[in-house]
Amino acid sequence: MLDVILKNGQIFDGDGKTPITTDLGIKDNIISEIGKIDSDKGKEVIHVDGLAVSPGFIDMHTHSDFTLMVNGRAESQVHQGVTTEVVGQCGISCAPVNSDKDIKQMAIGYCENSHKLGWRSFKDYLSSLEKNKLGVNVAAFVGHGAVHNNVLGNELRAPDNDEVIKMCKIIEESLDEGAAGFSSGLEYWPGNLATSQDLVSMCEKVAKRNKIYATHVRNRDNHYDLGFTEALTTARQSGVKLQISHIQPKYGAPEYAVEHTLKMMETFRKLGVDVAFDIIPHTWNHTRILSILPQWAQEGGTSSVIDRLRNLDARKKIRNNPQPMWLLVRDNKWDDIVLIHSNKNSNLIGMTFTEIGRSRGTDPYDAAFDLLIEEGEEMGSLLWSSKAFREDDIIMCLQQPECAVISDTTALAPYGALKNNIGSISGYGWTARFFQDYVNDKKILTLTEAIRRITSLPAERLGLIKRGKLKKSFYADICVFDPQKIKNNCDLKNLKTYPSGIEYVVVNGIFAVKNGKRTKFDGGQVLRKFN
């Protein structure tokens, strides 16, 4: 007897094949049958006529490392059909660490007193995560930034040879303890201290275990070619499988940047490099406000940063930085920059920095400095978003078969300790935005191909076992949605609104969403083993 039969759905296997209208049977946590099934064989029969039955969506780039500790139900993701997400990206992971203070420093979306801390190793972090009820499956990367801090603390320097050896050993241990891969954020502190050769040494350890290296490259604006070349060269030298994170160039890059980058990747593929990439399906970029500070201003940890920001001469020096992480800041495009997360000033979320500066009677740049000071030890959680991407670049990337689609956000909930957290402007609607904009409206991708980009493609890149496809014996991670009615409902004024059109979501055979409503059940697991 089957637990559930989904009757007469349009079955998209996730592999890009033409869909078929038939039934799907679930037994325990496994897809047991696909084909015409007698209704008498099921304990529960659900008619899904006219609906798309797809593998659950896989978000291969998120920053939910800490928010899943606070609320593991992953409400914002599950309501969108996401059944698996990958944390620890951009070099930012919550482990390994030496202290709880390090966790606070590394954790995006950190909430004071929201969760018992205490883990140190990567294994301990996964075990702590596993104690929570999880609405989604979770795979975790070990981040270069966390490993660097583990060995060097907040010193303003690259590691010496002995320290690189220590970092490599920690990476190896983390991979053996269940990390799905290794990530770097080379625009961020302390990733921007890493040398290319040190990264090669680290990636060799990743390649040896047949796992993936995901990188937020060193530059994506006027020096984009140097950043992407470094990533490709690192992969060629180390033999690692390379995933270039959120590849679209930022404000300040030349119009030909994407076309040039795609040609570079094709050249390196001919040299034997295994490279793919992903994009965010909208034109807004987001990051930590802390990242706008140059290297010297971030040395020494939180207290040192605050001391500098209180110094008028230091502020002036920071403002005169000719190459900040966001050139929008250099060019005073404050109308295009919006605050999306603050623990201490949640009333300002959704406002532009022009508006924030005006409300405080100060310059927008100084307003950003003041918010960092007020956030204190939690300043790493202070986030802003900007209109930094070009729509034409997104379309060009989507036309490449190796392009996956990601959220680059955090798993959130509109209640409890996370109620004021916003991971991005589409944190509650990125999957719907993807289908609505690029399948239904602009017709850049077919529905079949769009589903592949957020199911089997990321599953295969990550080495997920029996996930990402609708096949017999695969785990029952399933999303059932109406392709014509799927709609993103969030914008700058409505940042916490769930999408329309998602009818059923199944995670490891357990209904997380039923008839468009969240159930009380959570079927997610921590994933520790990979192909």
Which residues 6+ apart lie within 8 Å of 182 measured at CB?
141, 142, 143, 144, 171, 175, 202, 203, 205, 206, 211, 212, 213, 214
Q: How do residues 248-268 score in pLDDT, each as one tens digit?
A: 999 999 999 999 999 999 999
Asked if 465 contacts 30 with a C-beta cutoff of 8 angstroms, the reply is: no
Structure tokens that stand for 333 in this block: 């495009």
Which residue segments constitute the domains of the chain, with CATH numbers given? 2-55+467-487+497-518 (2.30.40.10), 57-283+389-462 (3.20.20.140), 287-387 (no CATH)
* Cα distances (angstroms) measured from residue 250 to each of 30, 96, 357: 42, 31, 24
Q: Identify the bridge partners of residue 287 per DSSP, sorted by sequence position.
A: 384
Q: How do residues 80-109 score in pLDDT, each as one tens digit?
A: 999 999 999 999 999 999 999 999 888 888
Q: Coil, helix or strand for 200? A: helix
DSSP state of 193: G
* Cα distances (angstroms) measured from residue 163 to each of 133, 219, 329: 37, 25, 35
More confident position, 114 or 69: 69
Which residues 6+ apart lie within 8 Å of 153 measured at CB?
301
Q: How do residues 3-13 score in pLDDT, each as one tens digit?
A: 999 999 999 99
**Arithmetic mean of pLDDT, 508-527:** 98
In this model, does residue 493 exceed pLDDT 80? Answer: no
* Cα distances (angstroms) measured from residue 491 to each of 285, 338, 340, 429: 14, 12, 12, 9
**pTM of the complete model:** 0.94
Mean of pLDDT over the chain: 95
